[in-house]
């Protein structure tokens, strides 16, 4: 079950998502007439390469988790295409989806509700192997033992029930379960948000080690920028169902292009009480996703908003090599492109 990290790591596209949308109808009145939609995810386009971690950040209610569940096909997308290794999976029925589920796994946020309280830890991890008829008897037991060892749990803990474990251990069980089928991509839906900070680090490091060992790809959904900075290769920032900025980690943190990203980064706590920082406080609240503002969705809170922002929706453009932003105020940095071309493209 061991995959050597491939030489082509992080250049081969594994998952391609184009213009993914998920709208929830809002029904009203006697005949449940559809009076509008919640635009939970409104046109997401991104790619995850083999062995890469893409972070999806944004504040609560911006559609991060919906996006993750839609990619897993736990929710049917309203529109858009999802390709796994070039094969479209967005329109597949649950039955047709089954073989693809082996490559696409999930780790949930809440380690307390994501494990069935009535199954022992061993049975939880064994379940996917049984579902797919991969192993039985002695072999199954060996596999489960190996998975337990892989995530840092002891063999004798297999007979215990979820309530006997701590939050971090439960999350490890969840990770072992996700690993059982030898997936290529794991959607981590805020996997550490429910854990203590000290335990967060352990789980994040476990995820990174597993990635190195198996060449896994992660879609890492989080609202904690510090964690994302630690684990992700590239980061997509979401606001109200759309990606506003998508860049590799270094470029995003060193030169955020979107005003929202700037504000988000300025909110990250710095462990130095004397550090001088400019905190950008955004006025107002996130607008309702039922009635998103016209033009740029961020214009209601943007300190730099212009007349154009209120009317015209900015497309996601590549302003520097590998750095995409959806903002009218940023122009394409031709110098950076030229430098990249000349320097042999270090992305």
Partner 1 sequence: MHEVIHKRRPWLSPLARRRLANFRANRRGFWSLWIFLLLFTVSLFAEFIANDKPILVRYDGAFYMPIFRSYPETTFGGEFPTEADYRDPYVIELIQEKGWMVWPLIPFSYNTINFDLPQPAPSPPTSVNWLGTDDQGRDVLARLIYGFRISVLFGLALTVLSSVIGIVAGAVQGYFGGWTDLLFQRFIEIWSGLPQLYLLIILAAFVQPNFWWLLGLLLLFSWTGLVDVVRAEFLRARNFDYVRAAKALGASDIVIMFRHVLPNAMVATLTFLPFILSGSIVALVSLDFLGFGLPPGSPSLGELLNQGKSNLQAPWLGITSFLVIALILTLLVFIGEAVRDAFDPRKVFK
Compute the least distance from the CB of residue 173 to partner 1, in Å: 11
Q: Does 127 bind partner 1 (CB under 8 A)?
A: yes
Query: Considering the rule CB under 8 A, would residue 32 count as an interface residue with partner 1?
Result: no
244 lines the binding site for partner 1 (CB under 8 A):
no
First to last CA, the chain: 31
Taking the C-alpha atoms of residue 127 and residue 140, their distance in angstroms, rounded to an integer, is 10
Span from 40-48, 130-138, 240-248, 329-337 in contact with partner 1 (CB under 8 A): 130-138
Separation of alpha carbons 58 and 55, rounded Å = 10
d(CA 148, CA 171): 12
Choose which of 150, 177, 299, 328 interacts with partner 1 (CB under 8 A): 177
* Tokens of residue 234, six digits: 């590239």
C-beta contacts of 311-317 below 8 A and 24+ residues apart: 316/45, 316/243, 316/244, 316/246
Only one of the segments 17-25, 119-127, 216-224, 303-311 lies at the binding site for partner 1 (rule: CB under 8 A); that segment is: 119-127
Contact 147, 180 (CB under 8 A): yes
**Binders of partner 1: how many residues, by CB under 8 A?**
40
Task: Assess 148 for contact with partner 1 (CB under 8 A).
Answer: no
Q: Is 117 in the site for partner 1 (CB under 8 A)?
A: yes
Site track for partner 1 across 193-232, x = CB under 8 A? ----------------------------------------
Residue 53's Cβ-count burial label (10 Å; 0-12, 13-18, 19+) is buried
Binding span for partner 1 by CB under 8 A among 37-45, 111-119, 235-243, 304-312: 111-119
Neighbours of 224 (CB within 10 A): 17
Residue 338: how many other CB atoms lie within 10 Å: 11
Summarize as ranges the residues that interact with partner 1 (CB under 8 A).
69, 72, 74, 98, 101-102, 104-106, 108-110, 113-118, 120, 122-123, 126-128, 130-132, 136-137, 140-141, 144, 156, 158-159, 161, 174, 177, 180-181
């Amino acid at each position: 079950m061991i995959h050597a990290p491939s030489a082509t790591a992080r250049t081969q596209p594994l998952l391609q998502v184009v213009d993914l949308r998920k709208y929830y109808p809002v029904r009203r009145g006697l005949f449940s007439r559809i009076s509008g939609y919640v635009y939970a995810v409104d046109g997401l386009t991104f790619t995850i390469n083999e062995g890469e971690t893409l972070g999806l950040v944004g504040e609560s209610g911006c559609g991060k988790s919906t996006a993750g569940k839609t990619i897993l096909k736990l929710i049917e997308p309203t529109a858009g295409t999802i390709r796994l290794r070039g094969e479209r999976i967005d329109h597949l029925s649950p039955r047709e989806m089954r073989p693809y589920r082996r490559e696409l796994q999930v780790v949930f946020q809440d380690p307390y509700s994501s494990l069935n309280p009535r199954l022992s830890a061993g049975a939880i991890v064994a379940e996917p192997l049984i579902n797919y008829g991969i192993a039985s008897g002695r072999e199954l037991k060996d596999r489960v033992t190996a998975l337990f060892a892989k995530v840092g749990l002891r063999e004798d803990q297999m007979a215990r029930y979820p309530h006997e474990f701590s939050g971090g251990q439960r999350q490890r069980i969840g990770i072992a379960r996700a690993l059982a089928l030898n997936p290529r991509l794991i959607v981590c839906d805020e996997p550490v948000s429910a854990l203590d900070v000290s335990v967060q680090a352990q789980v994040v490091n476990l995820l990174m080690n597993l990635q190195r060992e198996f060449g896994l790809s992660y879609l890492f959904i989080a609202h904690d920028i510090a964690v994302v900075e630690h684990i992700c290769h590239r980061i997509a920032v979401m606001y109200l169902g759309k990606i506003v900025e998508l860049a590799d980690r270094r470029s995003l943190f060193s030169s955020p292009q979107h005003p929202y990203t700037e504000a988000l980064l300025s909110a990250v706590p710095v462990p130095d009480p004397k550090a001088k920082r400019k905190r950008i406080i955004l006025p107002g609240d996130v607008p309702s996703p039922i009635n998103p503002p016209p033009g740029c969705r961020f214009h209601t809170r943007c300190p730099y908003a212009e007349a154009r922002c209120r009317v015209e929706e900015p497309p996601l453009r590549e302003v520097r090599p590998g750095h995409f932003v959806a903002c009218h105020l940023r122009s394409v940095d031709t110098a950076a492109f030229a430098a990249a071309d000349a320097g042999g493209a270090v992305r």
